[in-house]
Chains A and B, each alone.
Chain A
């Protein structure tokens, strides 16, 4: 058994940001299922929002305007106290990253460059070409190295240990050695990222299984607003690799088969820079109504950058060009990019308050795995990176407060018991079951993309729920090929699948119950937003039988009362 004062799960931006703040004062260890630089934060492209007012077109920007855009973008489901904290803190967070060495792109006056992004009234997205996640992750990891942070790399979390009111640590799995290791901790932070791989069409990394969210849920921690799933308008056809919103921020067009800039029909003012939920639905409609293109790899529309010219593309979007060349063999300088909407981000997640605290004492969550909620029903581009660094830091402060206010005594016995349970589970998985985990996961992801996607109906959601329950049943007979535990990725997939099934279940159930359309949740049978009944958060907790028990929670509204959302 290992012992640390604080255990942080996840080596992406939120986890690292929290660790950097805490490791000077406490015995902190960070575990990550991949070497931290391989975390999905690295794939973020377009930028990070802060009302710096550096752009000559954006001098009058302010945190209030950033807050308003975020709240409106969220379709008024975000908790405004939390949004206020994030937007106010954004400039400080950016300067801090810059002081730590983050190589932001610059304006001619030497200030941090800012570009326009979807749903934003001002150009406030700070960036480093189209590799913003890469530079941010490297900067925070470099900072962590300078502080000699203890990292357990290629370790998975398998279980969160709770006595019903307090968290005692985790049970982890050392993939390289194949050992199950309980880690006793006074405070535990999950920064485990999103669940993209629950969907078939997703921009997310292969590691984004959402198991952290599922593990917390299984340990009795409530999940919030799981039905709100962001579909990014522009995933590359075939591989679904992200084509950043910055393509449109820099002036790119969306074009249908008739050569129309079709966004004119759906968001005549904002056009291509309407928020993602609106642009994704518009693309989907164009495709469904026969105005899309038939690419050999799937139906799509075109993202056209050609008019931006080679110089601008090479300077601002070099990563996009590289991806197009490597994965489709096309050069966006000369050819339009075939794109389709793909699952991209989890607005919902572990239910936290604005201090990154969960209802389970000693257990905290930050970043995409958490739902504060600052994104409500739809996240604006550039706000997710911001959320990771702002709430990663806030989590560290809350953990400090938690540890200084009481004498926490985690219980070794509970961890030992949990370790035995995990061992039993692994024994069962290697006991000759006939179902292949990869097959169940593939089928689950197809159901989610087809029936719990951009457009939803009650009947389809009901069908999806039935299929998910069936998959859960089949999971009981999952078997893997080898009893050896070290470097056994199939074993890891099988273990993670259990949590993916729970995550999928809560998404589909939340969507089935929410009889309105708000942000990214669009019901064809209830096309209007219904504030009188549904201006509230969905909360799901696992009950004794292992079924989700649903309740609702009020939205915090401080400054901006709900209004019609048009762009």
Chain B
């Protein structure tokens, strides 16, 4: 195995600037050694074989969220996916679903980011700030941990069946982010913020089929956030408070 084995990569090609040309798969053969990731293969193809291949990348260490794509049918980050873990020597790479394709593996993430911005993803406080830090117990900090870990890579958004049938649905990432703030002991957002989400494009759209949890490379559980936000919404409707 040290010498490396030849893998066949079938990569989705399409250019939205030339819509008359139908999408196609282009085949590349690459020698793979252990440790080589899908992203490294893509970089090698662009550097050495075909300079016109388009894909996003940045940190190459699974923290920036640039390189989410479909790898042999499964959504993941290309940078953290080891090639040699696939028994099948053919690897198919496709762009993330649920978004328009700009070119090859690059999709237009505008709807993803707009949904994220819609939930007001920032700490809201109305009390005057103390001179030092706002105290927070270790327990309270732990409560937001999994949602803090979200890197907004859009793996969940690409995997979500509701986004695929309802483009107005906000998407799992937006709710994970909102819950990160609602469950932060320092946040003072008014519960009225939930009223905009009291509909089928919001909190009631989710099928709770857990595709987002399955797709997340960071062990975030967006479905949990949706369930929690639904409870918050019901509590507000019944009791009129947060």
A interface residues (Cβ-Cβ under 8 A, vs B) = 34-35, 37-40, 42-43, 52, 94-95, 98-101, 103-112, 128, 131, 134-135, 138, 142-143, 145-146, 176, 178, 205-207, 238-239, 241-242, 296-297, 319, 322-323, 326-329, 436, 438-439, 442, 480-482, 484, 486-490
Asked whether B123 lies within 8 Å of A38 as measured between CB atoms, the reply is no
Rounded to whole angstroms, the CA-CA distance of A109 and B135 in the bound complex is 8
Interface of B is mostly: loop
Quick one: closest A residue to B133, CB to CB? A98
In-complex Cβ contact of A490 among B34, B52, B186 (8 A): B52
Using a CB–CB cutoff of 8 Å, the interface residues on chain B facing chain A are: 2, 15, 17, 34-35, 37, 43, 46-48, 50-66, 80, 82, 102-104, 106, 109, 113, 117, 120-123, 125, 129, 131-138, 140-141, 144, 148-149, 151-152, 181, 184, 186-187
Residue of B nearest to A100 (CB): B123
CA A322 to CA B48, docked complex, whole Å:
31
Q: List 20 A-B contacts (CB under 8 A).
A: A37-B65, A43-B64, A95-B131, A99-B125, A99-B134, A106-B138, A109-B135, A111-B132, A131-B148, A131-B149, A134-B151, A142-B123, A145-B117, A206-B43, A206-B59, A239-B61, A241-B60, A296-B2, A296-B34, A327-B80
A143 CB contact (under 8 Å) in B17, B122, B135: B122
B80 touches A326 (CB 8 A): yes
Q: Determine the chain B residues whose CB is within 8 A of the CB of A242 once the complex forms.
A: 61
Residues of A within 8 A of B34 (CB): 296
Most chain A beta carbons < 10 A, residue from B55, B59, B109, B140: B59
A439 to B49, CA, bound (A): 12
Pairwise interchain contact B120-A146, C-beta atoms closer than 8 A:
yes
Q: How far is the CA of A112 from the CA of B37 in the complex (A)?
A: 37
Specify which of B122, B134, B138 lies most central, judged by the most chain A CB atoms within 10 Å of its CB.
Answer: B122
Chain B residues positioned under 8 Å from A39 (CB to CB): 58, 64
Out of B62, B134, B148, B151, name the residue touching A98 (CB < 8 Å). Answer: B134
Report the minimal beta-carbon distance from A327 to chain B, rounded to whole angstroms. Answer: 7
Min CB–CB distance B122 → chain A (angstroms):
4
Contact status B58-A34, CB under 8 Å: yes
Q: Chain B residue with minimal CB distance to A153? A: B113
- Measured between beta carbons, the chain A residues less than 8 angstroms from B109 are 35
Known: A99-B129, A101-B122. A42 touches B152 (CB 8 A): no
Bound state CA distance, A254 and B14, in angstroms? Answer: 49
Whether A108 pairs with B138 at a CB distance below 8 angstroms is: yes
Query: In the bound complex, how far is the Cα of B133 from the Cα of A435, in angstroms?
Result: 55
A contact residues around B54 at 8 Å (CB): 487-489
Which of B60, B121, B186 has a CB less than 8 Å from the CB of A205?
A: B60
Whether B137 contacts A106 by the Cβ 8 Å rule is: yes
* Seed contacts A101-B122, A442-B47; 4 additional CB < 8 Å A-B pairs: A37-B152, A38-B58, A109-B135, A326-B82
Query: Separation in Å of the B63 CB from the closest CB of chain A?
Result: 5
B100 to chain A, nearest CB (A): 12
Chain A residues lying within 8 Å of B148, measured Cβ to Cβ, are 103, 128, 131, 135, 138
Q: A34-B58, A42-B59 are in contact. Are A239 and B35 (CB under 8 A)?
A: yes
User: Which of B125, B135, B149 has the most chain A CB within a 10 Å cutoff?
Assistant: B149
> Which residues on B sit within 8 Å (CB–CB) of A205?
58-60, 64
Query: Is the CB–CB distance between A106 and B52 below 8 Å?
Result: no
- Expressed in whole angstroms, the minimum distance between the Cβ of B13 and any Cβ of chain A is 12
**In the bound complex, CA of A384 to CA of B120 (Å):** 29
Q: Give the Cβ gap from A180 to chain B, nearest Cβ, in Å.
A: 16
Let me know if B58 and A207 touch, CB within 8 A. Answer: yes
**B48→A206 contact, CB < 8 A:** no
- What is the bound-complex CA distance between A103 and B109, given in angstroms? 26
Check if A134 sits within 8 Å of B136, measured CB to CB.
no
Cα A297 to Cα B123 with chains together (Å) = 44
Residue of A nearest to B129 (CB): A99
What residues of B have a CB within 8 angstroms of the CB of A143 in the complex?
A: 122
Contact B122 A438 (CB under 8 A): no
The docked-state distance in angstroms from the alpha carbon of A42 to that of B65 is 10
Given A38-B65, A438-B48, A486–B17 Cβ distance below 8 Å? yes
Closest 5 CB pairs of A and B: A101-B123, A110-B135, A438-B47, A490-B51, A481-B51
Contacts of A111 in B (CB 8 A): 132-133, 135
Docked complex Cα distance between A326 and B76 (Å): 12
Complex-state Cα separation, A487 to B101, whole angstroms: 12
Q: Are A101 and B186 in contact (CB under 8 A)?
A: yes
Question: Cβ of B58: which chain A residues have Cβ within 8 Å of it?
Answer: 34, 38-40, 205-207
In angstroms, Cα B35 to Cα A136, docked, is: 30
Q: Are A323 and B61 in contact (CB under 8 A)?
A: yes
The interface residues of chain B lying within 8 Å CB-to-CB of A329 are: 82
CA distance A242 to B152 in the complex (A): 21
Known contacts: A43-B61, A142-B123, A176-B102. The answer to whether A482 contacts B51 by CB under 8 A is yes
